Amino acid sequence: MAASDKKKPGFIVETVKTIVYALLIAGVFRTVFFQPFWIPSGSMKETLLIGDFLFVNKMAYGYSFASCPSVRIASLGIDIDAEDLCGFLKGGNERILGREPERGDVVVFRHPVTGRDFIKRVVGLPGERIQMKDGVLHIDDVPVEVRDDGVFEEVVEPQGPGRVRPRCENGVVGQGGICEKSRQVEVLPNGREHTILNIETRSTDNTGVYTVPAGHYFFIGDNRDNSSDSRIPQTAGGVGFVPYENLVGRADRILFSSGGTSLFAFWTWRGDRYFKKIE
């Protein structure tokens, strides 16, 4: 028997061990430190664009059952939810090494009903009264500062893997045309500023008063007329109030951004979004 044949079983075992160790390390890294996230919708434009790829900082708010990764690969029939792995940690609305989010943070969280990952901005803290009046956010009956900031423009074309076309304030725009949205700068009570977009007057621009329960948060998308968020109750298919334990982590910086249907379509990567800080 050749020497190479004697070594073959050992080589296979070592290869398998290496792969297993690599997967374990990757699993620990994703569970404890950072989780990759690809922006699938336009609800956070222009802060986040469809195709932005970022890592979510899981250390920002400590750990709960939501910190465990979900693994969903539809083509392989794999659908493992974080609750399947760490459901024993759910309940009590508490976190290990927990820290509170700050108003203005852009956060990935688990939808309280569906368990799917969402990304929105924290605008309401526990105990506060939140209301929208004529498209302006009010916190404890006080309107936040809003100032006009020109027009947001983008080319009308299919975006992301869902091939979704943007909605425009300047009406129905054909393929290749320029889609416009009113842009404003919103200044939160703690001084943090970010841009918001508006398209039209909708029911979510004028709401009742929402009193945020203890241990919960109120989230809104920056693309105000194209976002399902806490302004819509869970009973109506929205997000409603989000429990503290459902927070996954904070989005701090975009790694890169793909304008195509796939992350790997490097020829469509946007040159102005590498390592861009998320405000």
Q: Which are the catalytic amino acids?
A: 43, 120
| Local structure of 193: helix, strand or coil | strand
Instruction: State the CB neighbour count (10 A cutoff) for residue 13.
Output: 10
Phi, psi of 98 (to 5 degrees): -70, 140
Amino acid at 167: R
Amino acid at 77: G
Read off the tokens for 160: 């992301």
Phi, psi of 33 (to 5 degrees): -110, -70
d(CA 110, CA 247): 6
Helix intervals (H) in the chain: 3-32, 82-86
d(CA 267, CA 270): 9
| Local structure of 75: helix, strand or coil | helix
Read off the tokens for 212: 């945020």
Phi, psi of 268 (to 5 degrees): -105, 5
